[in-house]
């Protein structure tokens, strides 16, 4: 547990205080990578089997609203013939539904702006929203829609049009300018993209890159073309490709050998190794995981587990809070969203991005944390309560000596709680103004 600023003797110098702050900053940097906590500094390959890894207390995810599927879309779903899927594009605040060869999207924030795209001729198997290269479409187009069907793969520009009077963005898909390749009887499995516009997809257990370019002739004529996808292969020890290339051979500079190793196994709550494959109701059908949270829909798809580490910044082992979320309908997609106050710069070419600090220390730059879950009954929006939110509620309800306030002090540590209190004291938000007197008492009591 961190030591309190209040424990510092009055005679401590400014240099000593600066050193204390530097120590906390260094601890924040050192704790960014969860590997040491997960593996106990590399000593254990397994975690999650035991009560010390999970806690269950005050709900951390609270259902704020459920947005029904637009009525006209519900009618289309009833007329489905063979293919149905749905998901989320949080980058443009859109939920999407695929019905056979038709694609529907609507704004899940405002529950309007239903868009209908019927330019695809064959049954749609996969869709993905990707960032596009800056020199391919018009400068204001930043995203594209990749559509994979039973026969081909296409990339369409996505046009976002904002209304200055309402700040609401409309959306359109340009079917007149697109790139297309055939899949040569392969079945597409998945589609992903990079931040600089490269698009990759898998088909029949092989990895391909979808290359799309524009050529400009000396007369100023622009020629849009897409290249037959190349199979991204790796060299064997004898210099031979492990799988056949569908385009020109790649040099060794084009090939990046990689080794994928299992570094750690984290078991889910209430799951033992002997029961993973026997208890079907404990299986997972849809999941999302990042550095801070893990959300899993069980096989019946309406019970959702949400695991978060935001309330456990200083534990010696990697600990998570467990929440049971109830969602109507079958879950199809899960996505966390937040408003980022500070935009980080991309890494230098060839360099990896820095690890983000523990989610507890990102509260001031990531606000309105929400969890969006899409089911065939609609879109469910859960508010992700942070330790700062919990401290606000604890001080408002019980004051400085209240049970909830004391529990936060014990769980998070004095330094972290005092820093959260300071953020409330310096805030101009109305919700913080109502408890500033109690925050002053807070500092007086623990100083």
Among the ranges given (244-258, 303-317, 361-375), the one the predictor scored with the smallest mean pLDDT? 244-258
Q: What percent of the chain has pLDDT over 90?
A: 31
Supply the Cα-derived Rg of the chain in whole angstroms. Answer: 26
Instruction: Report CA-CA distances (Å) from 395 to 71, 97, 295, 375.
Output: 43, 44, 30, 36
Mean per-residue pLDDT, 333-356: 78
Mean per-residue pLDDT, 176-190: 89
Mean per-residue pLDDT, 33-37: 83
Mean per-residue pLDDT, 382-397: 93
Q: Which pLDDT value is given to residue 63?
A: 94
Mean per-residue pLDDT, 179-189: 90
Q: How confident is the model at residue 281 (pLDDT cuts 50, 70, 90)?
A: very low
Query: Backbone phi, then psi, for 162, in 5-degree steps?
Result: -90, 140
Measured between alpha carbons, how far is 284 from 307 in angstroms, rounded to an integer? 14
Where along the chain do its domains lie?
33-43+58-70+283-340+359-382, 80-230, 386-446
Q: Which residues contact 164 (CB under 8 A, 6 or more apart)?
A: none
Is the model's pLDDT at 39 over the cut of 70? yes
Task: Indicate the SS3 state at residue 419.
Answer: helix
CB atoms within 10 A of CB 40: 12
Model confidence over 135-160: pLDDT tens digits? 888 888 999 999 999 999 999 999 98
Q: Which two tokens stand for residue 205?
A: 């257990």
Among the ranges given (79-93, 279-293, 316-330, 377-391), the one the predictor scored with the smallest mean pLDDT? 279-293
Is the model's pLDDT at 384 over the cut of 90? yes
Mean per-residue pLDDT, 194-223: 79
Q: Which two tokens stand for residue 292?
A: 């801070």
**Which of residues 216 and 254 earns the better pLDDT score?**
216
Look at residues 347, 373, 338, 87 and name the one whose alpha carbon lies nearest to residue 194.
Answer: 347
Q: Which pLDDT value is given to residue 277?
A: 36
Model confidence over 240-272: pLDDT tens digits? 332 333 333 334 444 455 666 778 888 887 654
Q: Which pLDDT value is given to residue 282?
A: 57
pTM (two decimals): 0.80
Q: Which pLDDT value is given to residue 165?
A: 52
Q: How confident is the model at residue 65 (pLDDT cuts 50, 70, 90)?
A: very high
**Which of residues 195 and 88 earns the better pLDDT score?**
88
């Amino acid at each position: 547990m961190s030591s309190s600023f209040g424990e510092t003797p009055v005679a401590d110098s400014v240099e000593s205080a600066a050193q204390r702050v530097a120590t906390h900053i260094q601890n924040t940097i050192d704790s960014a990578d969860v590997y040491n906590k997960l593996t106990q500094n590399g000593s254990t390959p397994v975690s999650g089997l035991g009560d010390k890894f999970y806690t269950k207390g005050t709900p951390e995810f609270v259902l704020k609203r459920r947005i029904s599927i637009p009525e006209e879309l519900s009618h289309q779903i009833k007329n489905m013939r063979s293919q149905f899927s749905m998901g989320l594009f949080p980058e443009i605040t859109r939920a999407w539904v695929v019905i056979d060869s038709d694609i529907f999207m609507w704004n899940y924030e405002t529950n309007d702006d239903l868009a209908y795209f019927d330019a695809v001729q064959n049954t749609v198997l996969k869709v993905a929203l990707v960032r596009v290269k800056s020199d391919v479409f018009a400068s204001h187009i930043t995203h594209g829609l990749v559509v994979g069907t039973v026969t081909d793969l296409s990339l369409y520009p996505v046009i976002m049009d904002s209304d200055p009077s309402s700040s609401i963005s409309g959306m359109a898909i340009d079917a007149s300018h697109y790139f297309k390749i055939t899949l040569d009887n392969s079945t597409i499995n998945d589609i992903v993209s990079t931040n600089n516009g490269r698009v990759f997809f898998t088909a029949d257990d092989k990895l391909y890159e979808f290359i799309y370019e524009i050529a400009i002739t000396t007369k100023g004529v622009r020629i849009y073309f897409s290249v037959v996808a190349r199979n991204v292969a790796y060299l064997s020890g004898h210099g031979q490709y492990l799988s056949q290339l569908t385009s020109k051979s790649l040099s060794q500079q084009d090939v990046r050998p990689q080794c994928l190793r299992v570094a750690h196994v984290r078991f889910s709550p209430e799951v033992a190794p002997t029961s993973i494959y026997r208890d079907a109701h404990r299986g997972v059908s849809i999941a999302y995981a990042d550095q801070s949270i893990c959300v899993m829909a069980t096989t019946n798809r309406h019970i959702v587990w949400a695991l978060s580490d935001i309330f456990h910044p200083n534990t010696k082992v990697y600990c998570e809070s467990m929440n049971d979320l109830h969602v109507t309908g079958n879950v199809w997609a899960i996505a966390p969203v937040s408003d980022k106050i500070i935009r980080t710069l991309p890494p230098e070419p060839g360099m990896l991005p820095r690890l983000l600090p523990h989610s507890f220390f990102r509260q001031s730059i990531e606000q309105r944390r929400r969890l969006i879950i899409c089911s065939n009954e609609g879109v469910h929006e859960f508010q992700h309560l942070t330790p700062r939110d919990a401290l606000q509620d604890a001080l408002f309800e019980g004051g400085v000596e209240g049970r909830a306030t004391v529990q936060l002090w014990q769980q998070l540590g004095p330094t972290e709680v005092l820093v959260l209190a300071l953020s409330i004291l310096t805030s101009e938000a109305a919700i913080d103004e109502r408890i500033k007197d109690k925050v002053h008492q807070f500092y007086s009591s623990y100083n």
